[in-house]
Amino acid sequence: MKGPAHRYEHRATPPRLPELIPSLDRDRLAFKHYRTDREKVERRSVVRGLMLMAILVLVRSMVRAGLGRVFVQGWWRP
C-alpha cells in the first residue's frame, strides 16, 4: 500500500522505562547503604575468626610441644 494512505499510518512509539518514584529511589539508596554496612561487618567477623583460629593453632602447638621446650629457662633475658 504505497501512496498517500501509507504516509499517515500511525506507528507506536518505542517502549520506555517508567520514571522512578522518589520513595523507590530512597529505598534503593537505603538498601545500598545497608548492604555496604553488612559487608563491613562481615569482613570484620571473618578477620576476627581467622585471628582466633591462628591464636588457637599457636597455643595448641605450644602446648603439644611442651611449655618447657617452648619457654626454655632464661628465654626472657638477653
Calpha distance 39→18 (Å, rounded) = 31
Calpha distance 38→19 (Å, rounded) = 29
| Confidence at residue 20, expressed as pLDDT on a 0 to 100 scale | 73
Q: Residue-wise pLDDT tens for the chain (78 aa)?
A: 555 555 667 778 888 877 778 888 888 899 999 999 999 999 999 999 999 999 999 999 999 998 888 878 877 776
User: What's the first-to-final CA gap in the chain, in angstroms?
Assistant: 104
| Confidence at residue 78, expressed as pLDDT on a 0 to 100 scale | 61
